[in-house]
Chain A
């Protein structure tokens, strides 16, 4: 069970959180203008990276805020936890 630092509540056990997927899958700003390929990517395609991965999690049994978690999928190390508005590290 991971120990996830909530940016608002502090470190909490994983059972308080709900996984929300890849943080960098973003809904096209103008969905109706999106190309079929772009929309398909958004709805269906997900990477399965080995190593560092930016994810969104909801502190569902806590403050109910969504957060952006950077996690190593290989070692399960938590690298970073931030509000979702934070831009991905370049």
Chain B
């Protein structure tokens, strides 16, 4: 085997399945069951990245999600995923990974010069140095951002990667599949509760797999296997391996990112699925994270958490070094030393800060009590450890410094319970001095924390607590009690740890002491921040960036707090902790996006006539969620040419347009007219059956919010139309008033937009066209006058025809049940053939309405315009209350200089009008210039053979004939304009009534 650090036996890998992978282009092999980190270590690769700020060489530090250093980009360069932890990436055949934050190469990184200049770059350096002069910050920032940082986002789209989302519900969610978690899950499952168990690793057993453990007198693998077998068999249990429970949200909602291993044969499955799990109770058995010892150069490749070294050995049969120094302040590292020694690693010494002996003893290993590793030797790999005796205060050294040669320093600074989800749920922490750790302070109503996550490090008590938590959870959900036999196992407590938040520097062995490896924050930085007055932990965090990396300081948090507390001479409890917030581990953005990307980003609404538009070669444009024909290019012409042809066809002959997207609301009940009276500014009591009326709605603040026509079909029956964009909002608006403000009105409303296909037929030949279609509707002016409606059979289907016009021409809207739409469209196209009937899109619709001077919601009526501003003040009834009326009396709404709707024409007839231009009095592009109005809509008018515009101009109606300037500094244009009436064609409406 070409993996020199792979041990001949043991581990939980599949030795006979060799996998090939590359790291920075170098071809390597590993085994199925490896992580990228364990496979790299098996090949003796320790240098895997450069640090964030100082570009120092970094190695693999941990064996789990807490990894601060070993972050890589996974996948081909253009579609890679950056900042993934090598300790979590499952190895697969063909894996490609790249190191990050180095240039030109990992071994020779030119920016490492920052490390040597480090005394010049203390905490807050950037704030202090580059903020003045203030206008230069943008320049500095670009270079600083380029030099600092981790991985780069990929630029390509990984088309093969899909993500998904699902919702799930359960009685008990168990987070963590170790001793406590599996016991809680089994207890709850046997009671019949619906249980989901999630663990971030691909395999179950948690810390039981990191160390050889005896349960009921046998290897713990047996207990894990039998427990899993039972859980798998039960219908009421869902097991989620590779599942990071990254957040706890309101009302017991948990976010879980569930990975599919890359390279798995089931490539069609989503790469990652976001599970949103709503549970009644949660049992958090998330374990604990080992913390570093903070000595000089404690970041050198070859310095590793002791528990990680033990895990690499026992899980992956990898020897992380040949000769190790164990540095510790607690018992757990002794177990690591024992296992490493048994595997053939030469244990040079166990350096224990404590004087009292540990509960574990290891024969034949040098034990150095009361001492500490104060510095690591070596640059891109550890070559030795500097060891010195600690003074009784832990802050000074006595005696000489001894150098012990080694290629591995296994460090253990104690264990921090993984309390993140408890914190997400609002739980507060307390400092437990017996274990020198922050632990949950209170019981929470729906979440319990058990095992190492609760600071319980004695194995038999973890089992007992898991069972108790499982029983308690199911009882709360109404299930009966169950009995479970917990395995007999080690029940002895460890010798208490000696708190050791950082180590003193030894003469001749200086170096940076990293508190936060990922954010490159040192002891000196924390002390400096405290001296400069950053006494709150939240301020410390922001000033030094402690804990602000993608690992959120999983390995650094408590050390940072404790150093701050020491500097301030306060107890740790008094300093307080930062609040852990979701996500516990970084989650790929794709997981949140799920399938809602590209054309699935939002639903697409297509009208019943969509196929007809496609057949006619329409170019579509989105209108809200709708796709509407923008124009019909006919022979590949551009939008201007096509839309002018379409608009001209309407003015000269006949055109037809799909208006199915307009909102339609069916209103029925004895108080239907009264409802309309209250919603619209104008009166409705006088509208006769079979007639249509234009209506205008305001918000309560008096501004125009929507408009449309409403038709009276019967005494108690109306059909309201709304604008396309506001169809949903108007429906909600009506429901709000009906249910909350006027519940006494006898009215029912229903949205019927989707039930109808509606075609507007417009132009002087529209009547003749309709008359050629078979049916029983009389289209004569006498029978169906302007603002009338008729019902009958049209093209063989039941139809309602409204004689209304948006274009300003003689026009009709034909509404038929949605499925008949295409047939009626075809009938109209056939009937109008000799008139060269022309389908038109929204661009031509826009030209026609600007020519006719119709405002639209969103452009002229932009939420700041009153009815009077739009020239419709007289529509407003004075005989009734309606939504917004009370506001109309406010002085500002009748102020003399309000902007009013007017038209504009360029003085030079050939000039174009810049869209979005501001209206100014004087021809100056240099400010400040008083802006008296703005252009709201522009169009080239085929009818007027030139550009026209609508605008809102202060006191505009009184200024018709004045000359002003349309100023567009963005396009550096200034066009002289004449203010005109806003209606450019047929001001008396003769065409409408023809």
Binding site for B on A (CB under 8 A): 1-3, 13, 18, 20, 26-28, 30-32, 34, 36, 39, 42-44, 56, 58, 60, 64-66, 75-76, 78, 84-85
CA distance A43 to B885 in the complex (A): 12
B392 at the interface (CB under 8 A from A): no
Assess whether B596 is interfacial by the CB under 8 Å rule.
Answer: no
Residues of A within 8 A of B881 (CB): 30-32
Closest-CB distance, A16 to chain B (whole angstroms): 12
Also in contact, A85 and B253, with CB within 8 A (given A1-B276, A18-B732, A75-B426) = no
With an 8 A cutoff between CB atoms, is B886 at the interface? Answer: yes
A63 to B276, CA, bound (A): 23
Which residues does chain B contribute within 8 Å of A42, judged by CB atoms? 700
Choose one: B250, B426, B732; the contact of A60 (CB below 8 Å).
Answer: B732
Beta-carbon contact of B886 and A32 below 8 Å: yes
- The docked-state distance in angstroms from the alpha carbon of A2 to that of B270 is 27
Choose one: B251, B253, B735, B885; the contact of A64 (CB below 8 Å). B735
Q: How far apart sit A75 and B252, CA to CA, in the bound complex (Å)? A: 12
Known: A39-B886, A43-B701. A66 touches B250 (CB 8 A): no
Most buried by B among A18, A43, A44: A43
Interface residues in B228-279 by Cβ distance below 8 A to A read 249-253, 276, 278
Chain B residues with CB under 8 Å of A27's CB are 700, 741
9 contacts between A and B (CB under 8 A): A31-B885, A32-B885, A32-B886, A39-B887, A43-B700, A43-B887, A58-B736, A76-B250, A78-B251
The CA-CA distance from A85 to B738 in the complex, in Å, is 12
Bound: A36/B736 CA distance, A: 23
Chain A positions within 8 Å of B885 at CB level: 31-32
Smallest CB separation, B335 vs chain A (Å):
42
> What residues of B have a CB within 8 angstroms of the CB of A65 in the complex?
739
> In angstroms, how far is the closest chain A Cβ from the Cβ of B863?
14
A77 to B892, CA, bound (A): 41
- Inter-chain contacts of B167 with A (CB < 8 A): 13
Which of A31, A76, A84 lies at the interface centre, i.e. has the most chain B CB atoms within 10 A of its CB? A31
- Whether A85 lies near B743 (C-beta < 8 A) is yes
Report Cα–Cα, A20/B700, bound state, in Å. 14
Q: Is the CB of B700 within 8 A of A1?
A: no
The listed residue with most A CB atoms (<10 A of its CB), out of B276, B700, B886, is: B886
**Least CB distance, B557 to chain A, in whole angstroms:** 25
Please tell me if the beta carbons of A3 and B700 are within 8 angstroms of each other in the complex: no
B250 close to A1 (CB less than 8 A):
yes
Besides A1-B250, A27-B700, A34-B886, 11 other CB < 8 A contacts? A1-B253, A3-B250, A3-B253, A20-B736, A31-B885, A36-B890, A39-B887, A44-B701, A58-B736, A78-B251, A84-B740
Closest residue of chain B to A26 (Cβ to Cβ) is: B741
Q: How far is the CB of B621 from chain A (nearest CB, A)?
A: 27
Residues of A within 8 Å of B740, CB to CB, are 56, 66, 84
Tally B residues with Cβ within 8 Å of A.
23
- B732: chain A residues at CB < 8 Å are 18, 58, 60
- Give the residues in chain B near A75, CB-CB below 8 Å: 426
Q: Is the CB of B736 within 8 A of A3?
A: no
Q: Using Cβ atoms and an 8 Å threshold, which residues of chain A touch B251?
A: 2-3, 76, 78
* Chain B, 682-706, CB within 8 A of any chain A CB: 700-701
A36 to chain B, nearest CB (A): 8
For the complex of A and B, 6 pairs with smallest distance between CB atoms: A3-B251, A76-B250, A31-B886, A66-B739, A39-B886, A43-B700
In the bound complex, CA of A28 to CA of B742 (Å): 11
A24 to chain B, nearest CB (A): 11
Residue of A nearest to B167 (CB): A13
Query: Distance (Å) between the CB of A80 and the closest chain B CB?
Result: 14
B481 to chain A, nearest CB (A): 27
Residues of B within 8 Å of A64, CB to CB, are 735
B890 to chain A, nearest CB (A): 8
Chain B 733-752, CB-CB to A under 8 Å as 1, else 0, gives 00110011101000000000
When distances are taken between beta carbons in the complex, the residues of chain A under 8 Å from B739 are 65-66, 84
A-side contacts of B735, CB under 8 Å: 58, 64, 66
**In the bound complex, how far is the Cα of B445 from the Cα of A75, in angstroms?**
13
Chain B residues within 8 Å of A18, by CB? 732
Question: In angstroms, how far is the closest chain A Cβ from the Cβ of B602?
Answer: 14
Residue of B nearest to A4 (CB): B251
Q: Which residues of B contact A31 (CB under 8 A)?
A: 881, 885-886
Shortest distance between the CB of B697 and any CB in chain A (Å): 15
Residues of B within 8 A of A13 (CB): 167, 278
Which chain B positions have C-beta within 8 A of A58? 732, 735-736
CA distance A18 to B701 in the complex (A): 21
Quick check: B249 and A1 within 8 Å, CB to CB?
Answer: yes
Q: How far is the CA of A39 from the CA of B955 in the complex (A)?
A: 27
Best-buried of A28, A34, A58, A75 by chain B (most CB within 10 Å): A58
Inside 8 A of A60's CB, which chain B residues have their CB? 732
Contact with A along B863-896 (1 / 0, CB 8 A): 0000000000000000001000111001000000
Complexed CA–CA distance, A56 and B732 (Å)? 13
Contact flags B706-744 to A (C-beta < 8 A → 1, else 0):
000000000000000000000000001001100111010
Residues of A within 8 A of B250 (CB): 1-3, 76
Closest to B880 in A: A32
| Contact call B886/A3, Cβ cutoff below 8 A | no
CB of B751, distance to nearest CB on chain A (Å) = 9
Is the beta-carbon distance between B736 and A66 smaller than 8 angstroms?
A: yes
Q: Smallest CB–CB gap between B860 and chain A, Å?
A: 23
> Chain B residue with minimal CB distance to A42?
B700
In whole angstroms, how far apart are the Cα atoms of A64 and B885 in the complex?
A: 27
B148 to chain A, nearest CB (A): 35
The smallest C-beta distance from B630 to any residue of chain A, in angstroms, reads 30
Please report the C-alpha to C-alpha distance between residue A18 and residue B729 in the assembled complex, in whole angstroms: 11
Q: Which of chain A's residues have a CB closer than 8 A to the CB of B253?
A: 1, 3
A30 nearest CB neighbor, chain B only? B881
Minimum CB–CB distance from A5 to chain B (whole Å) comes to: 10
In the bound complex, residues from chain B placing their C-beta under 8 Å from that of A26 are 741
Q: Taking the nearest CB of chain B, how far is it from the CB of A64, in angstroms?
A: 6
CB distance from A39 to the nearest CB of B (A): 5
In the complex, what residue of chain A is closest to B250 when comparing beta carbons? A76
Bound CA span A11–B251, Å:
11
- Contact in complex: A3, B887 (CB < 8 Å): no
> How far is it, in angstroms, between the C-alpha of A31 and the C-alpha of B251 when the chains are bound?
40
B276-290 Cβ-contact flags toward A at 8 Å (1 or 0): 101000000000000
With the chains together, A82 CA to B701 CA distance in Å? 29
- The distance from the CB of B674 to the nearest CB of chain A, in whole angstroms, is 15
**Which residue in chain A gives the minimum CB-CB distance to B890?**
A36
Within the assembled complex, what's the spacing in Å between the Cα atoms of A20 and B881?
23
Q: Which residues of A contact B886 (CB under 8 A)?
A: 28, 31-32, 34, 39
Residues of the B chain whose Cβ atoms lie less than 8 Å from the Cβ of A44 = 701
Cα A39 to Cα B253 in complex, Å, equals 40
Distance between Cα atoms of A51 and B741 in the complex (Å): 26
Q: How far is the CA of A50 from the CA of B881 in the complex (A)?
A: 35
Name which residue of chain B comes closest to A60, CB basis: B732
A7 CB, nearest partner CB in chain B, Å? 12
Query: Once the chains are docked, how many angstroms separate the CA of A25 from the CA of B475?
Result: 42
Tell me the minimal C-beta distance from B681 to chain A in angstroms: 14
Q: Which residue of A lies closest to B742 (CB)?
A: A27
Output the nearest chain A residue to B886 by Cβ-Cβ distance: A31
Give the residues from 160 to 176 in chain B that come closer than 8 angstroms, CB to CB, to chain A: 167
B 25-58 to A, binary, CB cutoff 8 A, 1 in contact else 0: 0000000000000000000000000000000000
Neighbouring A residues of B887 by C-beta, 8 Å: 39, 43
Task: Return chain A residues, CB-CB under 8 Å to B890.
Answer: 36
Which of B250, B426, B701, B890: most chain A Cβ within 10 A?
Answer: B250
A75 to B425, CA, bound (A): 10
Considering the chains assembled together, what is the distance between the CA atoms of A31 and B888 in angstroms?
Answer: 12
Whose C-beta in chain A lies nearest to the C-beta of B882?
A31
- With A and B bound together, what is the CA distance between A89 and B276 in angstroms? 34
Return the chain B residue nearest A76 by Cβ.
B250
User: For the complex, what is the distance from the CA of A76 to the CA of B250, rounded to whole Å?
Assistant: 7
A residues near B736, Cβ cutoff 8 Å: 20, 58, 66
Q: How far, in Å, is B526 (CB) from chain A's closest CB?
A: 32
Compute how far the CA of A40 lies from the CA of B540 in the bound complex, rounded to whole angstroms: 45
